[in-house]
Structure 1
Amino acid sequence: MTTDVASGPGDPAEPPANLAKLNANIARIEELTQRLVHALSQRRLPDPGVEAPGPDLFADAAAAWWTEMLENPGKLIEAQVGYWGKALRHYVAAQQALSQGRTEPPAGGDPAARPARPAADRRFANPLWDSHPWFNFLKQQYLLNVEAVESAVAELRDIPPLERRRIEFFTRQIVDMMAPTNFLATNPDALERALETEGESLVRGLENLVRDIEANRGELLVTLADRDAFKVGENIGATEGAVVFRNRMFELIQYAPRTAKVRARPLVIFPPWINKFYILDLKPANSLIRWVVDQGYTLFVVSWKNPDAGYAEVGMDQYVEEGYLTAIREVKAITGEARINAVGYCIAGTTLALTLALMKKRGDRSVASATFFTTLTDFADPGEVGVFLTDDFVDGIERVVAAQGYLDRVFMGRTFSFLRSNDLIYGPAIRSYMMGEAPPAFDLLYWNGDGTNLPARMAMEYLRGLCQANGFARGTFRICGETVSLADVTVPLCAIACETDHIAPWKASYAGIRQFGSRDKTFILAESGHIAGVVNPPVKEKYGYYTSAAPIGAESAAWKAGAAHHRGSWWPEWIGWLAKRSGRMVAARVPGDAAHPVLAPAPGSYVVEAPAA
């Protein structure tokens, strides 16, 4: 005879819920591991020239350091004794605290041996970095190591300025990479999350890692924003308009009027083709495109084609002839105006300046005024980006584009991310892969991850002729059969640079504007960086700007010394400048005309095409 007994939660016949969850997670890890191995196998064999600086850089740095130490051995002894003394004191203090079961770091101590965490260093925000002796020891030892490395680099003598900048930059990359926060076993936030979720956060993190590697064909590029939160043309890039012209280089978008009257002279914006144009048309509240239309302008924007290998032979000449000059011609035809106003952003500003110089040579006066957003034309000092513009990197890029026909968007995105590695690489990687968090729904970061390729010829002409040879500033650069210089740009102009721009440093931007041949020059210095300083709508009043009565011919320091600070966005200042050069008010224009029928609603097809595989 048998008796049925109901199984309780502790009955061996029914595994505990946490055991079932563990088994399910193990199965997920096995499946994800297989996907990870397959995704990594898709990665192209990298060219060492684009992965890291050439070995000569640190060999020269080491030689310079040893030369200095041999000439002054006392300095070497002092540095070594100081470092090891601090490290040993930290080790002993941490061991004592742990052996006595204390959960706080030892009180007092040598302030010099325990460097304070910088207030802005968000990596060490968790209280355990200060309250737990083990984590406190890791943090302080890391900061001591950073101090020692930075001191060694600072002691280098007889190093050319560019080489010193490169050594400092790539040393900082190594130092940032080795932070204890970047490793699971030494990151208290990640360990706490793993305990709270019974390991679920680590499984989600592995899912995020596999997803990113699969999406980038074997390369690791952290997803910065929720890819499902936005759709171009619906909740971003959605200002009403139409594509009214298309060729192999670009689609021309004319935006629908939002006022009964508009300025007679139309405005065309040339955005950079390194990224997509809708950075100027994110959500309605921060859309420069929508705001300009609201001010009563007939606005056109160029949406560039995202090139594949079929564009390998497209160079700067084609961008000028088939891009800029064609767009200007079509805008004039659609509006019936003899002259237009133009805006160029970043590399598109550089190329707008080349176009204007060419037009000067040809006697073409179609552009009445030009505005430059964060534009470099004199590359004598390109700032932080300059560390990637030496032959060891550029030679590698040349080999890669010769084989592929284009410079891959992944390389571009990764390179710019390293300029702010803690914010754009390590921080997001920790949240995604260690904490298992989903990327945020942030429109600016979504755009940042929506990259584009560069044609092979154009990329090399830009890197060799403009960046390395500085041909435009030296008057040796040839475009469409003409040799042009900065002095050939003579139209009235307004230039906006950004105070903390790490891609187009404001002083370098100012240096190029100084050399333009224009008599009518206005310079505006916006607060913040390359993107946030430009996308700064008046409603937020987040960042201010500077204007100066000093002549643009003065040095940048003199200009800044005489500058006045203004609260709020620079947009109204610029639009006031533009209004004086835009003619009378006329009846608003609808997109297109009989010869330019509407081809598609804005934002068009080029901006949403999948990049080349």
Structure 2
Amino acid sequence: MTETKTPRNKSDETACETSPFAFDVPGGPLSPAALGPAVADVLSHAATAPGYAAEVAKAAARQSLYALEAGGRPQADKEDHRFADPAWGVAPFNFFASNFLLIEDWLNSAILSTPGVSPRHARLAAFAARQWLDAFSPSNLPWTNPEVLRATFKEGGLNFVRGYQHWLEDLRHEFDPKTAAAAEEFVVGRDVAATPGKVVLRNELIELIQYAPQTPQTRPEPLLIVPAWIMKYYILDLSPHNSLIRYLVGRGFTVFCISWRNPGPEMAETSFDDYRRLGVMAALDAVSAIGGAEKIHALGYCLGGTLLSVAAAAMARDGDDRLATLCLLAAQTDFTKAGELQIFVDETQLDQLDRIMARQGYLDASQMAGAFSMLRARDLIWSRMVKSYLLGEKAHTNDLMAWNADATRMPCRMHSTYLRALFLHNDLAEGRFEAGGKPVRLDDIHAPVFAVGTEGDHVAPWRSVYKIRRFVSGDVVFLLAAGGHNGGIVSEPGHRKRSYRLLDLGPRRSAPAPRDYLARASVHPGSWWPTFADWLDAHSGAFGPPPPMGAALCDAPGTYVHQR
């Protein structure tokens, strides 16, 4: 198979050259060149405001006094599970935890309220301070953690022996990911990504999978799924019981899904528009040719939804009306308030990232994973270390963990375009982003939209996802699911503790603000998948014979999904 290089459009003209002033910290998502000025800004303004410094000192004294007087359980926020064990409500551990939480709250407030500091510098310094302080949480220290002390006395210290063995295993997995337990237990094509189908298209960027029908009759409109290129597609085809793809095939839809190639240095110059053209548009053309359908449903997840939005806007601009509906799962189109990930995106930090990508030709998944881990360091780093290394508890692996360990890379030019043009400069929402050499506008999209946000999403906050209502011209249904960025989407029927809110927003002029949405949306227990399938049914034609399968290149899940 030959690789092709295509001309870059203006939106792809981003710097992948080595920056003369960038600190190379592989795996370190916070650039010292960005963090240093932020900390200096806070310290200099605090030092030149004596009245503020005095108030901060008084507040610290009050916090300490309160910690001494407070009794009972520490007051942590609902997402902080470090002090959930009942033993943290007993002295002296309640004092340790309460005092730490008060210090954490005081430091965050002191930094954010420093007079004269730019809001971005304040947020960046507060975030960095929280990462530093979290390392000294009493939950991380064996002599101040009652759970660790209890296990140590009960087992005579064997928990530390097991913890050391777990550390050695993790070290081995770090150098050879194929030895990870999750990778051994959940085999792609056997345990996950196992819905029957065929690869019916392969080019230098994608394999297109057509899934075999599982019902005697199907809807006439096929469904094309566009997953994020930042991860393997089978997040939507995990085990048979929690595969969205298998569920939709079982509901009578002809489903196609893109499987992205895992890029190496040879794809350094692949552009964002190449992903639209060789990915979404090539897949749509193949779907149309195979089944002869005039209308196609399209679903995009995370960054795949952002890419699909660009493609849909370009299609509407060019008079291509093949899209019957548009479904966006945890996908942002307006990045003005894109959550804590914005902390890692400014020109200084992108200079560092460009330097790394220019040398490699891509962004490695381990380098990207640092940013996501820092967003939830309490759960993803510290709590895991306590359980594995101090308590000696072996982490239970599941299919979602196996998928999460099966990481992908991002080509230099494409990823730099995404971060600068979309995330930093918000070109898509403001009508400046180009596809095929011409600007696209989201308000050209007239197809009905089903948008899904998740309540606990740290990657694509639901209020940011909800902004789609401001742009598209067609009717919008917005569903808010319980769970996080991945768990809220992988929300199969029968899943415990799942629920969702639903509201038909109608045309964009009638859509309420997020606060009003929470008050007006109806609340439903259980999975949102049946509701989505019902919505697709309502926008589909009558059942008929399944369309033919395309010419098979190989069985699903194909070859690209196995690339390392």
TM-score (norm 2): 0.87
Query: What is the Cα deviation at residue 329 of structure 1?
Result: 0.6
Aligned partner (choices 478, 486, 495) of residue 451 of structure 2 = 495
Decide which moves more: 569-578 or 549-558.
549-558
State how far apart, in whole Å, the 2-side matches of 1:224 and 1:445 are. 10
Report what 1:559 is aligned to: 517
Report what 2:536 is aligned to: 578
Q: Does 1:603 align with 2:557?
A: yes
Q: Does 1:520 align with 2:479?
A: no
Asked if the contact 2:52/2:114 (under 8 Å) is kept, the reply is no
Map of 1:54-453 to 2, 5 A cutoff? 54-68=35-49, 70-72=50-52, 74-82=54-62, 110-111=69-70, 116-118=74-76, 121-125=80-84, 129-131=88-90, 133=92, 135=93, 138-194=96-152, 199-217=157-175, 226-453=182-409
Query: What is the Cα deviation at residue 129 of structure 1?
Result: 4.2
Query: SS of the residue aligned with 1:245?
Result: strand
State how far apart, in whole Å, the 1-side matches of 2:294 and 2:463 are. 35
Change over 3 Å in CA distance of 1:81–1:205 after alignment to 2: closer
Asked if the contact 1:49/1:392 (under 8 Å) is kept, the reply is no
Query: SS of the residue aligned with 2:522?
Result: strand
Aligned partner (choices 502, 505, 513) of residue 547 of structure 1 = 502
Query: What is the Cα deviation at residue 50 of structure 1?
Result: 4.4
What number of residue pairs does the alignment pair up?
535
Change over 3 Å in CA distance of 1:573–1:354 after alignment to 2: same
Change over 3 Å in CA distance of 1:265–1:475 after alignment to 2: same
Decide which moves more: 556-565 or 372-381.
556-565
Q: Does 1:532 align with 2:512?
A: no
Query: What is the Cα deviation at residue 73 of structure 1?
Result: 5.6
Asked if the contact 1:184/1:190 (under 8 Å) is kept, the reply is yes
* CA deviation string 1:487-518 (max 9, x = no partner): 232322221122232211222112233212x2
Q: Which amino acid aligns with 1:396?
A: Q
Query: What is the Cα deviation at residue 277 of structure 1?
Result: 1.2
Change over 3 Å in CA distance of 1:368–1:201 after alignment to 2: same
Query: What is the Cα deviation at residue 378 of structure 1?
Result: 0.8
Query: What is the Cα deviation at residue 358 of structure 1?
Result: 1.5
Asked if the contact 2:225/2:256 (under 8 Å) is kept, the reply is yes
State how far apart, in whole Å, the 2-side matches of 1:520 and 1:45 are. 45
Q: Does 1:587 align with 2:542?
A: no
Structure 1 unaligned segments of length 5 or more: list them. 1-43, 91-109
Query: SS of the residue aligned with 2:218?
Result: strand
Query: What is the Cα deviation at residue 83 of structure 1?
Result: 5.2
State how far apart, in whole Å, the 1-side matches of 2:155 and 2:53 are. 54
Asked if the contact 2:123/2:343 (under 8 Å) is kept, the reply is yes
Query: What is the Cα deviation at residue 480 of structure 1?
Result: 2.1
Q: Which amino acid aligns with 1:421?
A: A
Query: SS of the residue aligned with 1:252?
Result: strand
Report what 2:16 is aligned to: none
State how far apart, in whole Å, the 2-side matches of 1:321 and 1:503 are. 26
Change over 3 Å in CA distance of 1:196–1:380 after alignment to 2: same
Query: SS of the residue aligned with 2:501?
Result: strand
Query: SS of the residue aligned with 1:473?
Result: coil
State how far apart, in whole Å, the 1-side matches of 2:77 and 2:376 are. 18
Q: Which amino acid aligns with 1:175?
A: L
Query: What is the Cα deviation at residue 126 of structure 1?
Result: 5.0
State how far apart, in whole Å, the 1-side matches of 2:412 and 2:421 are. 14
Query: What is the Cα deviation at residue 535 of structure 1?
Result: 1.4
* CA deviation string 1:433-483 (max 9, x = no partner): 233333312222222222111111111000011111110111111222111
Decide which moves more: 361-370 or 233-242.
361-370
State how far apart, in whole Å, the 2-side matches of 1:47 and 1:293 are. 39
Query: SS of the residue aligned with 1:237?
Result: coil
Q: Which amino acid aligns with 2:193?
A: G
State how far apart, in whole Å, the 2-side matches of 1:404 and 1:60 are. 33
Asked if the contact 1:257/1:590 (under 8 Å) is kept, the reply is no
Q: Which amino acid aligns with 1:252?
A: L
State how far apart, in whole Å, the 1-side matches of 2:441 and 2:265 are. 31
Change over 3 Å in CA distance of 1:111–1:429 after alignment to 2: closer
Asked if the contact 1:550/1:558 (under 8 Å) is kept, the reply is no
Report what 1:458 is aligned to: 414
* CA deviation string 1:108-161 (max 9, x = no partner): xx228x87343855323456545464x555434433432432342354234444
Change over 3 Å in CA distance of 1:161–1:576 after alignment to 2: farther
Query: SS of the residue aligned with 2:231?
Result: coil
State how far apart, in whole Å, the 2-side matches of 1:183 and 1:427 are. 11
State how far apart, in whole Å, the 1-side matches of 2:500 and 2:439 are. 36
Decide which moves more: 474-483 or 460-469.
474-483
Structure 2 unaligned segments of length 5 or more: list them. 1-23
Query: Which of structures 1 and 2 has the bigger CA Rg?
Result: 1
Q: Which amino acid aligns with 1:326?
A: A
Q: Does 1:569 align with 2:527?
A: yes
Query: SS of the residue aligned with 1:494?
Result: strand
Query: What is the Cα deviation at residue 175 of structure 1?
Result: 2.4
State how far apart, in whole Å, the 2-side matches of 1:125 and 1:352 are. 41
Asked if the contact 2:27/2:368 (under 8 Å) is kept, the reply is no
State how far apart, in whole Å, the 1-side matches of 2:29 and 2:374 are. 16
Query: SS of the residue aligned with 1:302?
Result: strand
Query: What is the Cα deviation at residue 340 of structure 1?
Result: 1.4
Asked if the contact 1:194/1:201 (under 8 Å) is kept, the reply is yes
Asked if the contact 2:41/2:121 (under 8 Å) is kept, the reply is no
Query: What is the Cα deviation at residue 178 of structure 1?
Result: 1.6
* CA deviation string 1:258-317 (max 9, x = no partner): 100001111110011111111111122211111100110111111111111111111101
State how far apart, in whole Å, the 1-side matches of 2:548 and 2:368 are. 37
Query: SS of the residue aligned with 2:480?
Result: strand
Q: Which amino acid aligns with 2:290?
A: I
Change over 3 Å in CA distance of 1:506–1:139 after alignment to 2: closer
Asked if the contact 1:375/1:504 (under 8 Å) is kept, the reply is yes
Asked if the contact 1:538/1:571 (under 8 Å) is kept, the reply is yes
Q: Which amino acid aligns with 1:583?
A: G
Larger relative contact order, structure 1 or 2 (CA cutoff 8 Å, min sep 6): 2
State how far apart, in whole Å, the 1-side matches of 2:77 and 2:65 are. 26
State how far apart, in whole Å, the 1-side matches of 2:337 and 2:147 are. 40
Asked if the contact 2:475/2:505 (under 8 Å) is kept, the reply is no
Change over 3 Å in CA distance of 1:180–1:575 after alignment to 2: same
* CA deviation string 1:9-34 (max 9, x = no partner): xxxxxxxxxxxxxxxxxxxxxxxxxx
CA RMSD of aligned residues (A): 2.8
Query: SS of the residue aligned with 2:429?
Result: helix
Query: SS of the residue aligned with 1:372?
Result: strand
